[in-house]
Structure 1
Amino acid sequence: MAISLGSARQWHWISSAVCLVGMLLFAITGITLNHAAEIPARPQVITHELSVPAELLDTWSDSESDTMQLPASLLQWLASEYRIYVPRDHRGEWDGSEYYLAMPRPGGDAWLSLDRDSGDLTFESTDRGWIAYFNDLHKGRDTGGVWRWFLDIFAVACVVFCLTGFWLLWTQSSRRISTWPVTALGVLIPLVIALVFIH
């Protein structure tokens, strides 16, 4: 029993250390998400309307696919001239004459539209601020594969933290008579709220 108890304690503190920052982040963003309508937000919108040089459009090979990527030379030009950064792996919608690319991201989004014949390009970027950014991290919205993997690993660490905590409660409950009433209260409070107050 001593080995099992020691092992549970070790896994409990390891999982708590792994979860510490993540749990704080998720708890705080849980509050901001719950009160999203009450938190003022002033999105910052940046718009560019420009003409793409013909020589850059000439490097753009025709494609029969309805999705395609912008040529690297055009991406470099947008970044150097207008500080418009388009991820190289993003593919947009192509109808034979007009190209449209959506670029959602945590806390904002952007889009780009390019007329192949005229070279007219419109770019718009919206930044909704840091609170929206962390709220989207909480939801895993438009965060990419690496963040989703982090969320999965974080969730597993939280499960280990809870199960080892329960095991520690179980092994020490005989010395603390309030253990199970308090634990039952933790189950009953959300259950009653869900059954009675949520319609």
Structure 2
Amino acid sequence: MLNAKKPIRFYLGSVREWHWISSAICLVGMLLFSITGITLNHAADIKATPEIITKEAQLPAQILAAISVPDAEQAPLPETLRAWLADTQHIEVHKQLAEWSEDEIYVSLPRPGGDAWLSIDLASGELTYELTDRGWISYFNDLHKARNTPEVWSWFLDFFAIACIIFCITGLLLLKRYASGRPATWPMVGLGLVAPWVLLLLFIH
């Protein structure tokens, strides 16, 4: 009898361990995505006033003289120019592709929760930078959608999604194990499965 129960105990112990580990990993992420799910669902009702910051500056003559227009219409900014922007103007431009013409450089710098752009007049060296900040709610909403986020954030979302799948599957296995003592288990699971389909069929065509 004891030997027969050992595999079951090992199985339940493994499921419980995976369940609590995945729940710990998912806890903060699930709260964040649940809250931003509500804010996204009511985005039209949440009013926000964007904050716009504009900078104007003059490129040093030596940096302007060192800029040569590339053959391609799109190419990154020269490293010396990127360093000058970061050090003196506190504008971070990494290796985003800029749009080059004979007389102007234009860089689009979208980001979560806002937008930005940079323009340089190649004749005069005049620099114009504009940053639009739409606030924290917009920032977290964009993180929810992975909008204008780096690739590493997409990797995190993949990892988070896998952890959520493990959490749900192990939860289902634990429900199966204890369902006999809780008659409402499967009706509740069925409700969670059927309710979205009923809403889709009745109200969304």
Query: Partner of 2:60 in structure 1?
Result: 53
Give 1:140's aligned residue.
Answer: 146
State how 1:46-125 maps to structure 2 within 5 Å.
46-87=53-94, 89-125=95-131
Give me the identity figure in percent: 56
Distance 1:85 1:177 in 2: 59
Tell me the distance in 1 between the aligned counterparts of 2:57 and 2:27.
47
> Residue 2 of structure 1: SS of its match in structure 2?
helix
- TM (normalized to structure 1)? 0.93
RMSD: 1.4
Question: Counterpart of 1:169?
Answer: 175
Say whether residues 1:9 and 2:22 are aligned partners.
Answer: no
Q: Specify the alignment match of 2:3 in structure 1.
A: none
* Per-residue deviation, 1:85: 2.7
TM-score, normalised by the number of residues in structure 2: 0.91
Equivalent in 11, 14, 24 of residue 31 of structure 2: 24
Instruction: Give the deviation of 1:170 after TM superposition.
Output: 1.1
Q: Which consecutive aligned stretches of 4+ in structure 1 deviate over 6 angstroms post-superposition? A: none
Q: Aligned partners of 1:136, 1:60: CA distance in 2, in Å?
A: 35
Q: Count residues with an aligned counterpart.
A: 198
Q: What 5-or-longer segments of structure 1 have no aligned partner? A: none
Q: Secondary structure at the match of 2:106?
A: strand
Shift of 1:21: 0.4
Shift in Å at residue 76 of structure 1? 3.3
Q: Distance in 2 between matches of 1:81 and 1:140?
A: 30
Alpha-carbon shift at residue 51 of structure 1 (Å) = 2.8
What secondary structure does 2:48 align onto? coil
Is 1:159 equivalent to 2:165 in the alignment? Answer: yes
Structure 2 residue runs without a partner (length 5+): 1-7
Match of 2:92, SS? coil
Q: Is the 8 A contact 1:59 1:71 kept in 2?
A: no
